[in-house]
Amino acid sequence: MSAVVNFAKGEGAYRVLSQADIIAEIAALPGVAGILGGKPSEWSIRDVADGYINAVFIIDGPDGGVCAKQGLPYVRYHGESWPLDETRAFYEASYMRRLEPVVGRLAPKLLHFDPVLQFIVMEKLSPHVVLRGALIEGRTFPKVASDIGRYIAAASFHTSDLGVPFERKFDDIALFSGNKSLLRISVDLIFTDPYVEVWRNRFVPELSAWAKAFREDTELKTAVAIRRNAFLSNRQALLHGDLHSGSVMVTEEDSRVIDGEFSTFGPIGFDLGAFVANLVINWYGQAGYARDEAERAAHRIWLLDQIAVLWNAFRAEFIRIWEANPDAGGDGYPAAHFADPAGRARLATIREQYVADIFEDLVAFAAIKIIRRILSYAQVADFLVIEDTQRRAEVQANALAFARAVLKDPARFRDFGAFLDAIPRFEGTPLDPALAR
């Protein structure tokens, strides 16, 4: 059955939709109602939201199902005390629409968007599961790392100065630059809050010494500030903006990227670093789970391998797309300037350096995202499932020590081998940061 994509202007005023409202909205969309089949009275709806800023529902009918999502005017669990611009759903829909031609089935299909209600209807992913929970359970997926690497390669190349004329890129930047409400959340929670005292921070008391050490570490804060400035000023490509293991749904054979409401333009290495950070977080979190030691060791080996698979898949696909699209129209390195043998050889060198610079960004942003998920707001289940806060703090101290080393001594992490080899060496980090290496 073909799906109907609708970006027409809605009528009326924004309101938070009840479950009954959602059924009524979908019933008025013939293309979507046809996916469900039957009558609205035969449909079921269930709340599946597990994040902080959206209402999310699965609607099932006799013939199929869809996922419905509405941007809320506040952060969940805080209500009106933390207001938020609900128009972020517009940017999520715009992100899906912009990337569908280049990422294909690596993302769910957008079926409908109402700009007044900030209401999205998209393909239901089944039997997919959220990657984060599956990793906590010790499950492995043979394709996910390579799929995400290819997704980022396609999304970033085709929205960069390599893949589109600057006029198209500037139009995209103008569109997504309006997503200021969520960009502010990113800047605060990722790059600022972990290094100051602020009410949003959520670390366990046993990590207080580490939090204080980070607040007082000028060298560390300088390294973070350099990346904060790059995140804000380097409009390299369109980013997902929040690409973690909770933003990926998987089966053994299929991977899909969801939740693009944080989309913005920035350094390509940011999305890569965010996903790598979550694999590293899960690696450290495994030490706090009740699990057979042999199973834990095997899963950790798999996780480290997937970090390498991710990078290698990205690198290979990004270069392949660049080589395969000499006439893409990008103004960064026009093919006509490198048409002779010497030029082609030079362009190959340029490609390698371009990708090497992305790797450097990846490593730094991964470290910053690890810190953010431990000391800032919106903690991750990889650590939260460790109920013993003393043990949780011990595990998190290992991750913090690793991230601090990456940021303060980047020369040690010039290649992925050094990066991966270092991760296990920070196990056993003391809760007193003064005693940590």
Q: Where does the pLDDT of residue 318 fall: very low under 50, low under 70, confident under 90, or very high at 90 and above?
A: very high
Nearest to 135 by CA among 254, 247, 282, 275: 282
User: Do 72 and 53 meet the contact criterion of CB atoms below 8 Å apart?
Assistant: yes
pLDDT mean over 63-67 = 98
Question: pLDDT per residue over 37-48, tens digit each?
Answer: 999 999 999 999
Smallest Cα–Cα separation from 312: which of 274, 362, 244, 265?
362
Mean pLDDT to the nearest integer, 73-98: 85
DSSP per-residue string spanning 298-318: HHHHHHHHHHHHHHHHHHHHH
Which distant-in-sequence residues (6+ apart) come within 8 Å of 101 by Cβ? 158
Residue 4 has pLDDT above 80, yes or no: no
pLDDT in tens, 143-191: 999 999 999 999 999 999 999 999 999 999 999 999 999 999 999 999 9
Average pLDDT over residues 211-220: 98
- For 123, phi then psi, to 5°, come to -55, 135
Among 3.20.20.330, 3.40.50.2300, 3.30.200.20, 3.90.79.10, name the CATH number for the domain at 19-123. 3.30.200.20
Structure tokens at 184: 């502010």
**Confidence at residue 1, expressed as pLDDT on a 0 to 100 scale:** 33
Q: Comparing 53 with 29, which gets the higher pLDDT?
A: 29
pLDDT in tens, 224-268: 999 999 999 999 999 999 999 999 999 999 999 999 999 999 999
Supply the pTM of this predicted model: 0.95
Query: Residues 91-108: what's their mean pLDDT?
Result: 98
Mean pLDDT, rounded, for 342-348:
97
pLDDT at position 7 is 47
Q: Is the pLDDT of residue 84 over 90?
A: no
- CATH class of segment(s) 129-435: alpha beta
pLDDT score of 5 more than 90: no
Same fold, 19-123 and 129-435: no
Residue 165 structure tokens: 């004329």
266: enclosing H helix or E strand: strand 264-266
Q: What are the extents of the domains in the chain?
A: 19-123, 129-435
Q: Which range (86-90, 154-158, 314-318, 320-324) has the least confidence? A: 86-90
pLDDT at 80 over 80: no
* pLDDT at residue 79 greater than cutoff 70: no
Per-residue pLDDT band for 3 (boundaries 50, 70, 90) equals: very low
Bridge partner list, 166: none
Could you please report the per-residue DSSP string of 50-110? -SSSEEEEEEE-SS-EEEEEEE-SEETTTEEEEE--TTHHHHHHHHHHHHHHHHGGGSPPE
Q: What is the pLDDT of residue 77?
A: 65
* Mean pLDDT, rounded, for 10-16: 79
280-285: average pLDDT: 98
Q: Is the pLDDT of residue 307 over 90?
A: yes
| Residue among 241, 250, 207, 253 at smallest CA distance from 433 | 207
Assess whether pLDDT exceeds 80 at residue 11: no
